[in-house]
């Protein structure tokens, strides 16, 4: 030992000095470095992706994934470069809807590469990590959040016009982690169904949006009305028994074609929530059993019927979202 008057506690006493950091220190430094690299890469990714949209709902099963994939496809139809990030760890179903069932994570050169689904939409899903589609991943909090950060920082999206992020239901940690990791999120789309319970939950999501400091782009009402098309005698009156015993009547045209919209749930809920909180109302998506088919054989309605009723409804919602994003971009407010 030296004859310095200062005694220094040295945890490596006995080991040769000047040999650089210990193995533990080395590991810590490597971790810090990886963390820093990831942070920089998140910033980088933030710049390469023009618009980032989160899709949330207070309640499960209201159609977030259906809406996320629909928005992504509708945007891709317009010619945009689009990605979709499926953050749902316990029930990721985006790959099924995008025709990518059974895909596994593709890692090359230390980077994660997205799979390409319908219309060239790039897809990253937690499902790509599963060995078996029927085994849900049960990850505890911190590991899950770390995985999400990794998913954001290590994915090679390339340049994108839009990234749609699909979340698990509820106002949990995931959106918070994403909002904190990914810079400049344009905002969130809140999916609701017309029922009262779902509405109450979407109120929660709007409050949650405020606490995340992410703007609410608006509310979409999903499963709004079901259109029944049929044939009857030309110019006859058709009567349909609607929900709650209410009868709906309509007139068949010269050729006997008729079409009725049946409101399966109460109508207008999304609009009411939007009005109550003065956030934009983005429109309604019809109840369409064809979306479900997309869930099974991997053909989304927008792909199989690009000119159909549902595809049109989606493109209207997309236009409303673009108006919100565009409006904030070209905001004429001068701040000094």
Partner 1 sequence: MAEIMPKLTRLERRKSDLLLTYESGDELSVEYVDLRHACPCAKCAPNRNEDQTSIDLRESVEKLANKKPKVVTIGNYALSFEWEDQGCSSGIYRFERIWALANNKDPDNGKPYVHGPW
Binder to ligand ATP among 42, 75, 223, 321 (CB under 6 A)? 223
Q: Please identify which residue in the block is written with the tokens 């000094």.
A: 336
Closest residue by Cα to residue 186 from 83, 319, 52? 52
Backbone angles phi, psi at 228, to 5 degrees: -105, 120
DSSP-assigned letter for residue 141: H
Token pair of 67, please?
A: 């809406």
* Angle (deg, nearest 10), helices 173-181 and 141-153: 30
Binder to ligand ATP among 52, 291, 300, 318 (CB under 6 A)? 291
Based on the shown chain and the rule CB under 6 A, indicate whether residue 88 belongs to the binding site for ligand ATP: yes
Q: How far apart are CA 256 and CA 238, in angstroms?
A: 10
232 near 249, Cβ under 8 Å?
no
How many binding residues for partner 1 (CB under 8 A)?
25
E strand map for 1-128: 49-56, 82-86, 106-108, 111-113, 115-116, 122-125
Token pair of 151, please?
A: 């998913």
How many binding residues for ligand ATP (CB under 6 A)?
22
231 SS3 class: strand
Pick from Mg ion, partner 1, ligand ATP, none: which does 332 bind, CB < 5 to 8 A by kind? partner 1
Which residue stretch of 23-31, 112-120, 274-282, 296-304 sits at the interface with partner 1 (rule: CB under 8 A)?
274-282
Based on the shown chain and the rule CB under 8 A, indicate whether residue 270 belongs to the binding site for partner 1: no
Based on the shown chain and the rule CB under 8 A, indicate whether residue 213 belongs to the binding site for partner 1: yes
Based on the shown chain and the rule CB under 6 A, indicate whether residue 222 belongs to the binding site for ligand ATP: yes
Q: Pattern of binders to partner 1 over 230-269, x per CB under 8 A?
A: ----------------------------------------
Pick from Mg ion, ligand ATP, partner 1, none: which does 157 bind, CB < 5 to 8 A by kind? none
CB of 123 to ligand ATP, least distance (A): 15
Q: Which residues of this chain interact with partner 1, rule CB under 8 A?
A: 187, 203, 206-207, 209-211, 213, 215-217, 276-280, 324, 327-328, 331-336
């Amino acid at each position: 030992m030296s004859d310095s008057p200062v005694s220094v506690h040295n945890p490596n006493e006995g080991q040769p000095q000047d040999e650089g950091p210990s193995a533990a220190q080395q590991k810590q430094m490597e971790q810090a470095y990886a963390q820093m690299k990831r942070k920089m890469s998140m910033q980088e990714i933030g710049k390469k992706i023009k618009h980032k949209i989160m899709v949330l709902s207070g309640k499960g099963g209201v159609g977030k994934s259906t809406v996320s994939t629909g928005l992504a496809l509708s945007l891709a139809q317009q010619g945009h470069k689009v990605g979709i990030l499926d953050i749902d760890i316990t029930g990721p179903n985006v790959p099924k809807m995008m025709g990518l069932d059974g895909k596994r994570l593709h890692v090359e050169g230390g980077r994660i590469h997205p799979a390409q689904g319908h219309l060239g939409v790039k897809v990253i899903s937690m499902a790509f990590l599963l060995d078996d589609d029927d085994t849900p991943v049960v990850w505890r909090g911190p590991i899950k959040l770390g995985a999400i950060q990794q998913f954001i920082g290590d994915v090679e999206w390339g340049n994108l016009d839009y990234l749609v992020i699909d979340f698990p239901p509820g106002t949990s940690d995931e959106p918070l982690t994403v909002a904190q990791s990914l810079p400049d999120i344009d905002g969130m789309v809140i999916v609701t169904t017309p029922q009262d319970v779902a509405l109450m939950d979407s109120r929660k999501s709007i409050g949650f949006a405020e606490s995340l400091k992410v703007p609410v782009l608006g509310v979409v009402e999903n499963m709004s009305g079901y259109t029944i098309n049929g044939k009857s005698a030309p110019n006859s009156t058709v009567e349909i028994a609607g929900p709650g015993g209410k009868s709906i009547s309509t007139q068949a045209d010269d050729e006997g074609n008729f079409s009725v919209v049946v409101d399966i749930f109460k109508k207008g809920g999304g609009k009411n929530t939007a009005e109550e909180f003065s956030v934009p109302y983005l429109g309604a998506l019809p109840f369409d059993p064809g979306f479900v088919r997309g869930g099974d054989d991997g053909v989304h309605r927008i792909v199989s019927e690009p000119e159909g009723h549902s595809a049109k409804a989606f493109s209207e919602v997309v236009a409303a979202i673009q108006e919100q994003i565009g409006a904030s971009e070209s905001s004429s407010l001068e701040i000094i």
